[in-house]
Amino acid sequence: MPKNKVNIFLIILMLATTVIIVSSHFRTQGIIRKNQSNWHLTIGKIDDRIASLDSAVKELKNNQEELHSRMLAVNYEPETEIDNFAGKDGLINTAALRHELLRLKKIMEATGLNKLATSNDMNPEILQEIYEERTLIKKFNTLRKEMRERNQAQHLADKERYDTELNEIYDRARFMGGRSATREEQDLAFNEMLDKYPDAYATGMLVAERALRSAFRRNIEETEKFYFMLTGNENSANIVTDRGIEALPNIEYYLARQYLREGRTAEAQTMIDSLESNYSGSLVFVGRHGQGTPWQTVDQIIPDLRTR
């Protein structure tokens, strides 16, 4: 092959190679740019998703902290009724909760309970005993209220059944009546009530008043006399005096104790059985001056009576 032709062939080959190389370069650059664009779009989406998740996590954390605060505010007292602090939308009324917590804080500071509760020397059982005693007192006050309501209902029943003279005689016969009367006048009025209104609740109240007065004076014979007058009249079974005292369980409690002191075991057992069967939830006056409440329910005093 002539030398000139060889040179021309080499030049053409070099030019073709160059074209191929340049085309490949531009094609590669295009692919890279396209992939870079796609990568940027993907990374942008990932960043947006991360930001969205981060915002959701922060919101959940805030809600969790708010819920925890509400739970702490509500759980200060096991018996708190959540409904009392709920608004129309069902959410907790935090303002009401704060007000209640502030009120309890003032009570604790005024009574010194905050110091007792944080004292290293304070036995938690003492606070429990204080709580239980307050609960009993509340229960007793509720029962006393029920007794006063029963007394009023009995007076109302008499009013509907008898004339106004009954109330006039009743007032004269009472030891603690509104009128000033001598003992003789009281006894005369009492006997008049027995004659004219033997089945009236007011008459039973007068008998009960005298029975309890005799019991407090430790006059067992008089107590027994009035007790049998009450048990002999079915209308007197649930008599409550104007002082809110349920008559029969209190009289039976006194008699049971007196019979036990005197060794009259069988009679004491009769009283104890009657108390347990008929008046287990009734209140009786136990005294205990300066030591807790002077009232207890019958079911509380029965074990003591049975072990004497």
pLDDT of residue 152: 96
Would you tell me how many other CB atoms lie within 10 Å of the CB of residue 189? 21
pLDDT of residue 139: 80
- On whether the CB atoms of residues 248 and 279 are closer than 8 A, the answer is yes
pLDDT of residue 135: 74
pLDDT of residue 155: 97
Q: Which tokens go with 120?
A: 């290293």
Nearest-angstrom CA–CA distance, 75 and 266: 53
Q: What is the mean pLDDT of each run of 10 residues along the chain (308 residues)?
A: 54 59 55 52 55 56 49 40 49 66 72 61 65 74 91 96 94 73 90 96 96 94 96 91 94 96 95 95 79 81 91
- On whether the CB atoms of residues 283 and 140 are closer than 8 A, the answer is yes
Nearest-angstrom CA–CA distance, 68 and 61: 10
Nearest-angstrom CA–CA distance, 102 and 9: 103
Q: Which of 183, 291, 186, 201 is nearest to 241 (CA)?
A: 201
Phi, psi (deg, nearest 5) at residue 285 = -85, 120
Q: Which tokens go with 253?
A: 């409690």
Nearest-angstrom CA–CA distance, 35 and 285: 96
Nearest-angstrom CA–CA distance, 235 and 227: 13
Cα three-residue angle 216-219-225, rounded to 5 degrees: 110
Nearest-angstrom CA–CA distance, 257 and 264: 10
Note the pLDDT tens digit of each residue in 170-211: 999 997 655 567 889 999 999 999 999 999 999 999 999 999
Find the farthest-apart pair of alpha carbons in the chain and give their distance in angstroms, rounded. Answer: 170
Tell me how far CA of residue 167 lies from CA of 153, 157, 211, in angstroms: 15, 12, 20
Phi, psi (deg, nearest 5) at residue 295 = -115, 145
Single pTM value for the model: 0.58
